[in-house]
Structure 1
Amino acid sequence: MIATHLIIHGHVQGVFYRDWTVATARSLGLAGWVRNLPDGTVEAHLEGERGAIERMIAAMHDGPPRAAPTRIDAREVEPQGLRTFERR
């Protein structure tokens, strides 16, 4: 079990990016959360198996149809022991 903190840059607010993230993360068996930040980025915390997190991050580079992510900053952090994935 690992955890990763992400900041997603680009056109990621107002395009259902958070809802898409929740659905995709849950389908991969990940726990964590996602939220919009005031600067127009999206912040996410992912917890789970390394392979599932890597698949999630790869998918997040595309996101839902109207999104246009330009960069994802990721860093490994300590797991918080979360059990579900939610939108904040």
Structure 2
Amino acid sequence: MNRNHFVKHEFNERAFEFDHQGDSAPTTMLSPRELAVMTYLAKGMTRAQAAHEMDISEHTLRVYIEAARHKLDALNTTHAVARALIRGLIID
């Protein structure tokens, strides 16, 4: 199993532990940039790598992460990625 698959598997496992709302949670609409950030993080990229890939500063990346966290009602970034995965917002 390569690193990216391992990271995705771990996110999925953690998602079920963190997310007590499950499928009953309403679908959350993330902006295209928020979705891109969540996707890059789900693939195992660091914040610096994701910012570089998106050609934005790490500060701007943090703004997108915080907006996504708020929309997903997540406790932290990992929780936000997990919720995005569970809700089918991130598709490999």
Same-fold status (TM-score > 0.5): no
Range into which the TM-score falls when normalised by the shorter chain = 0.3 to 0.5
TM-score by length of 2: 0.34
TM-score by length of 1: 0.35
Greater CA radius of gyration, 1 or 2?
Answer: 2
Which has the larger strand fraction? Answer: 1
